Chains A and B, each alone.
Chain A
Amino acid sequence: MFKVLERIFKDRLATEEISLAGSERYRGPIEGKAGADALGECMAICPVKAFSVAGEDYKIDYKRCIFCGRCVEACAKLVPKANAQAGLSHGHVDAMPYLMEAGQEAVQDVFKKQLGRSLHVRHLDAGSCNACDFEMGATGNPYYDLGRYGVHFVASPRHADLLMVTGVVTRNLEQALKMSYEAMPEPRMVMACGACAAGGETYGDTYALVGAVDTVLPVDLYVPGCPPRPSAMIVALLAAADLLKKKMK
Chain B
Amino acid sequence: MLTTIMPEAILTAAEKYSAKGTHPLTAMFGRDETVFGEGYAIYCYFEVPETKSVDGFKVVFRPESPLEYDSITHIVPAAAWYEREIHDMFGIIPKGHPDLRPLVLHESFPEGFFPLRKSVKVNAKVRGERKYKIRTAKGEGLFEVPVGPIHAGIIEPGHFRFSQAGEAILQLDAKLFFTHRGIEKAVEGKTPYEALPIVERICGACSIANTWSFCQAVEKIVGVSVPRRAEIIRTLLMELERITNHVGDLGNIPAGVGFNPAISLGGRLKEKLMRLCEAVSGNRFLRGVIVPGGVAMDIDAALINHIREVIDDVTDGVEDLSIMFSEQENFQNRIQTTGIIRNRTAVDLAMVGVGARASGYAHDSRSDFDYGVYSELNFKPYTKSMGDVAARLLVRIGELSASFEMVDKLLDMLSSCADTALNVELNYIKGEGWGISESARGSNFHYVALDAAGLIDRLFVRSASYPNWPALTVAVQGDIIPDFPLINKSFELCYACIDR
Q: Which residues of A contact B (CB under 8 A)?
A: 1-4, 6-8, 11, 14, 22-27, 47-48, 66-70, 73, 90, 122-125, 127-138, 140-144, 153, 155-157, 167-168, 170-176, 180, 202-209, 226-227, 229
Whole-angstrom CA separation of A141 from B254 in the bound complex: 14
The 6 residue pairs across chains A and B that have the minimum distance between CB atoms: A131-B204, A206-B182, A141-B267, A155-B152, A208-B182, A25-B282
Asked, given contacts A168-B181, A171-B106, A172-B180, whether A129 binds B202 with beta carbons under 8 Å apart, the answer is yes
Cβ < 8 Å to A, chain B residues 130-186: 149-150, 152-157, 177-183, 185-186
A229 to B123, CA, bound (A): 31
User: Is B267 within 8 A of A27, CB to CB?
Assistant: no
9 further A-B contacts with Cβ under 8 Å, apart from A134-B285, A176-B157, A207-B122, are A3-B327, A22-B278, A26-B282, A134-B205, A170-B181, A172-B178, A175-B108, A176-B149, A203-B182
Residues of B within 8 A of A7 (CB): 261, 265, 320, 324
Contact B267 A142 (CB under 8 A): yes
Known contacts A14-B268, A141-B270; A68/B205 CB under 8 A: no
Residues of A contacting B: mostly: loop
By a beta-carbon cutoff of 8 Å, the part of chain B in contact with chain A is 105-106, 108-109, 115, 120-126, 149-150, 152-157, 177-183, 185-186, 194, 197-198, 201-205, 207, 248, 261, 264-265, 267-268, 270-271, 274-275, 278-285, 287-288, 296-297, 320, 323-324, 327-328, 494-496
Q: Which of B125, B149, B154 has the most CB of A within 10 A?
A: B154
Q: Could you tell me if B154 and A123 are in contact, using CB atoms closer than 8 angstroms?
A: yes
Residues of A within 8 A of B202 (CB): 129
Question: CA separation between A180 and B123, bound complex, in Å?
Answer: 26
Closest B residue to A164 using CB positions: B154
CA distance A153 to B124 in the complex (A): 36
Contact B108 A172 (CB under 8 A): yes
Q: Which of A4, A141, A172, A173 contacts B271 (CB 8 A)?
A: A141
Residues on B with C-beta less than 8 A from A27 are 282-283, 288
Residues of B within 8 A of A174 (CB): 108
Q: A14-B268, A23-B279, A172-B178 are in contact. Are A227 and B204 (CB under 8 A)?
A: yes
Q: Within 8 Å CB of B157, what residues of A? A: 125, 173, 176
A203 to B150, CA, bound (A): 23
- CB of A130 within 8 A of CB of B496, answer yes
Can you list 9 A-B pairs, Cβ within 8 angstroms, ordered by A? Answer: A48-B197, A73-B296, A125-B156, A128-B204, A129-B201, A131-B205, A137-B154, A173-B179, A203-B181
